[in-house]
Chains A and B, each alone.
Chain A
Amino acid sequence: MEHALKTPRETSSPDPTRRPQTVVRPAEESGTPQVKMRTELLRAWFGPTEVLKGISLPILKNRVTAIIGPSGCGKSTLLRCLNRMHEVVPGARVEGKAYLDEQNIYEASVNPIRVRQRIGMVFQKANPFPTMSIRNNVLAGLRLQGVRPRSPDELVEKALRQAALWDEVKDILDRSGVSLSGGQQQRLCIARALVLEPEVLLMDEPCSALDPIATAKIEDLIYELRNSYTVVIVTHNMQQAARVADFTAFLYLGELIEYDKTDTIFRTPRDPRTEAYITGRFG
């Protein structure tokens, strides 16, 4: 399956700072990782259409979990179910359970706002607030939660540096968030999520609008984040999944076909559909 990792796009990558592909995974040496989140027979609907058909998936602490699958298979929906964003859509419905630190976030007594405060999210399409400056976009999460940070400038700089955007915007922090390019906007949204230091960070194709250099920076960031956070990333890019993810889940038509260590998924997939997908034979 080695060939799956070496498509032309990968080998022609112009970026010299790229990390070697075989990453040393420190967690593998330090015993079994904790389960940060897990779903149990999670089902989701848009109106009458069932788009997730009973997903049971663990998400390990301080690890990066990738969700892959053909377009429309329910990756975004699954991600949105993890921080109770799915129910925001009119007519959308969720059944089943999702645990965060062994507490079911779909229990009636749980306040979804608390859930979202602990689980950050970066959307598939960049959505900075058009009425706010770049600086205020970064601080938006705190402000919206009614928190007044003591040293906002430091927070802004730190988050923008993490999101590999600082050098490009440090002189224009007061311009509107939408004055940036699409890729810059996406990194701004990443910074906006990072400021809140969420325990879990959900990223829906965070690099789909980025050039290879910015992509590499974000991938480095994700790699670093796993030291203190738990990351779930949706991606269409097999190589990206192979590069950044410790674990990979393959979704097909709303069902979880296969979940395993990324290496295993890419080298020795058990299900023929997984193999077909990662070798590019469909989807």
Chain B
Amino acid sequence: MESDSKQSQETLREPQPSLATIGPEKAFVAICRLAVALPLLLLVVLVVDAVVDGWPRLSWGFLTGYPSRNPEIAGILPALAGSAAVIVLTAVMAIPVGVGAAIYLEEYTKPGRLTSLIELNISNLAGVPSIIYGLLGLELFVRAMQMGRSLLAGAATLALLVLPAVIMTSREALRTVPYSLREACYALGADRWQTIWRVVLPMSLPGILTGIILSVARAIGETAPLIMIGALTYVAFLPDSLMSPFTALPIQIFNWVSRPQKGFHTNAAAGIVVLLVLMLLLNATAIWLRVRLQRRVNW
């Protein structure tokens, strides 16, 4: 490499515009864009397909009807009521425990054996297939604790299922509160719990709430664990107590998908549209809450 000959020949411009060096990059980016677009396109196709398939059945009667052997008049009211009840119960159980665990891990404990064991455990639990939670619920709640195939057993199972996610998102939210604020509070003579209750929790509330709603929204779509604990697939009544048998929207959808008749597939598609709308609403609520509450905290 003599620098003189190099200089005279070399130029900063492209010898052949684009093809030599820019070409491969352009091609690669194009392929990448395709890789991103393909799954998103399928998402659109999926939604459109469900809406098109389910459209004939989407009506007020469908939302307020009871299941039936005749697909044309079957509805999802018991499933909707069951899903709502299960979700509320799940939230009631999972939120205090999950947020409590998060506070303990973030504020009360120093890094150590037990803490890292709990942390490892939570991250592993988050990866345990949901159907395994179903097996646990079946043995623990349905049989050992004799709750039977009840709303309570279903909600308790789902609560354990969403717990790792609730803990992890809550911890993240707690971590966003700057340490200096805690110090300021301690300096005023507050003790640890007062600091958490008065300063840390209110400040991290938007994050915690958003995380919780998103975790619980996932539970709405869970099917396998509820099948395991024996949520019924044909329920012609609304749940009236914690011990009441129940069904849920995804179970109803699964039941209809598994039938060979086309009419029931239409019902399944209509049920899917309702389920997706519910999830969308919950997600939107989470985002809306975060934006609103964050603004308040900033004031």
Name A residues whose Cβ lies closer than 8 Å to a Cβ of B.
100-101, 103, 105, 109-111, 113-115, 118, 197, 199, 228
Q: Distance (Å) between the CB of B25 and the closest chain A CB?
A: 10
Which residues on B sit within 8 Å (CB–CB) of A228?
Answer: 3
For residue B14, CB closer than 8 A to chain A, the reply is yes
For residue B27, CB closer than 8 A to chain A, the reply is no
Q: Distance (Å) between the CB of B11 and the closest chain A CB?
A: 7
8 CB < 8 A contacts A-B:
A109-B14, A111-B14, A114-B11, A118-B10, A197-B3, A199-B3, A199-B6, A199-B7
Cα distance A101–B10 in the bound complex, in angstroms: 11
- Chain B 1-23, CB within 8 Å of chain A: the 1/0 string? 10100110011111000000110
Q: Which residue of A lies closest to B20 (CB)?
A: A111
Q: By the criterion CB–CB under 8 Å, are B13 and A114 in contact?
A: yes
Which residues on A sit within 8 Å (CB–CB) of B12?
Answer: 100, 103, 105, 110-111, 114-115, 118
Q: Distance (Å) between the CB of A178 and the closest chain B CB?
A: 26
Which residues on A sit within 8 Å (CB–CB) of B6?
Answer: 199
Chain B: interface size category: 10 to 19
Top 5 A-B residue pairs of the complex, sorted by shortest distance between their CB atoms: A110-B12, A114-B12, A197-B1, A109-B13, A111-B14
Q: By the criterion CB–CB under 8 Å, are A103 and B3 in contact?
A: no
Q: Distance (Å) between the CB of A245 and the closest chain B CB?
A: 21
Name B residues whose Cβ lies closer than 8 Å to a Cβ of A.
1, 3, 6-7, 10-14, 21-22
Which residues on B sit within 8 Å (CB–CB) of A199?
Answer: 3, 6-7
Q: Which residue of A lies closest to B13 (CB)?
A: A109
Cα distance A197–B14 in the bound complex, in angstroms: 21
Q: Which residue of B lies closest to A111 (CB)?
A: B14
Please pick, from B1, B7, B13, the residue contacting A110 in the complex, using a CB distance under 8 A. Answer: B13
Q: Distance (Å) between the CB of B2 and the closest chain A CB?
A: 9
Cα distance A199–B1 in the bound complex, in angstroms: 11
Cα distance A100–B22 in the bound complex, in angstroms: 22
Which residues on A sit within 8 Å (CB–CB) of B21?
Answer: 111, 113
Q: Distance (Å) between the CB of A62 and the closest chain B CB?
A: 10
Q: Distance (Å) between the CB of B111 and the closest chain A CB?
A: 26
Q: Distance (Å) between the CB of B10 and the closest chain A CB?
A: 7
Which residues on A sit within 8 Å (CB–CB) of B3?
Answer: 197, 199, 228
Which residues on A sit within 8 Å (CB–CB) of B7?
Answer: 101, 199
Q: Which residue of B lies closest to A145 (CB)?
A: B21
Query: Other CB < 8 Å A-B pairs besides A109-B14, A197-B1, A199-B7, 8 of them?
Result: A103-B12, A105-B12, A109-B13, A113-B21, A114-B11, A114-B14, A197-B3, A228-B3
Cα distance A199–B11 in the bound complex, in angstroms: 13
Q: By the criterion CB–CB under 8 Å, are B11 and A103 in contact?
A: yes
Which residues on A sit within 8 Å (CB–CB) of B14?
Answer: 109, 111, 114
Which residues on B sit within 8 Å (CB–CB) of A113?
Answer: 21
Cα distance A197–B1 in the bound complex, in angstroms: 8
Cα distance A280–B10 in the bound complex, in angstroms: 44
Which residues on A sit within 8 Å (CB–CB) of B22?
Answer: 111
Q: Distance (Å) between the CB of B17 and the closest chain A CB?
A: 8
Cα distance A172–B12 in the bound complex, in angstroms: 37
Cα distance A111–B21 in the bound complex, in angstroms: 9
Which residues on A sit within 8 Å (CB–CB) of B1?
Answer: 197
Cα distance A103–B7 in the bound complex, in angstroms: 12
Q: Which residue of B lies closest to A114 (CB)?
A: B12
Which residues on B sit within 8 Å (CB–CB) of A103?
Answer: 11-12
Cα distance A125–B7 in the bound complex, in angstroms: 30
Cα distance A41–B11 in the bound complex, in angstroms: 23
Q: Distance (Å) between the CB of A2 and the closest chain B CB?
A: 38
Which residues on B sit within 8 Å (CB–CB) of A197?
Answer: 1, 3
